Amino acid sequence: MSIRATLALAPVIPVIVIEKIEHAVPLAQALCAGGLRVLEVTLRTPAGLPAIEAMRRAVPEAVVGVGTMTKPEDFATSANAGAQFGVTPGLTEALAAAAKKAPFPLLPGIMTPSELIAGLGWGFDTFKLFPAQQAGGVNMLKALGGPFPDVVFCPTGGITRATAPEFLGLPNVACIGGSWVAPNEKVRAGDWKGIEALARDAAALPRARK
């Protein structure tokens, strides 16, 4: 599945930090039950890769990707874990080269027009604007839409439930990344019904681009 096809599956991609491996499956089940099938599991904790493996085995309806990829070797370890797409916070020539050899598509992170132009030169046309709010948020995306009309974004970083509709209303935004649908306090408490409710609300958000 192409990265654009993946982003089209839901308006919000949960950005997930797994602290305990036993949380992985019930969290994925709750998010999918709420209508958010595309999940980004970050490599911010040692449980990240085992969580991807567990989700892929137990929740086949989920599309599980790996986030916070910062090194070329992350592509091989993520592929071995079963990741179906990758996400980076930035983009370098080394990461772009590793992505070409990977068995899954990449959503590369960019923050500036120069980084975007470099990414286009490496063959990408779909990007994560990160960190979205610090990079200029909605106004930055509107500004990029003029010189780069064919580029599609998944802005991530600092987006809340309150600001989500503003981002999703832009024609160059396919979806957004958000952590509010899987807050750490609910995960730690095992409040899977609460997370399912947050996911259902997020999945119903309208967007200009599908």
Length of the chain in residues, anyone?
210
- Active-site residue, 40 included: yes
Residue among 19, 20, 22, 40 flagged as catalytic: 40
Pair of tokens at residue 54: 């567990």
- For residue 42, list its beta bridge partners: 67
- Contacts of 22 by beta carbon, 8 Å cutoff, 6+ apart: none
Residue among 71, 100, 101, 128 flagged as catalytic: 128
The structure tokens 């992505």 sit at: 99
Could you give phi then psi for residue 126, rounded to 5 degrees?
-135, 130
| Burial bucket for residue 210 (CB in 10 Å: 0-12, 13-18, 19+) | exposed
Cis before 131 (ω within 30): yes
Cα separation, 107 vs 85, in Å, equals 8
According to the 3-state scheme, what is the secondary structure of 57-120?
A: HHCCCCEEEEECCCCCHHHHHHHHHCCCEEECCCCCHHHHHHHHHCCCCEECEECCHHHHHHHH
List residues with catalytic annotation. Answer: 40, 128
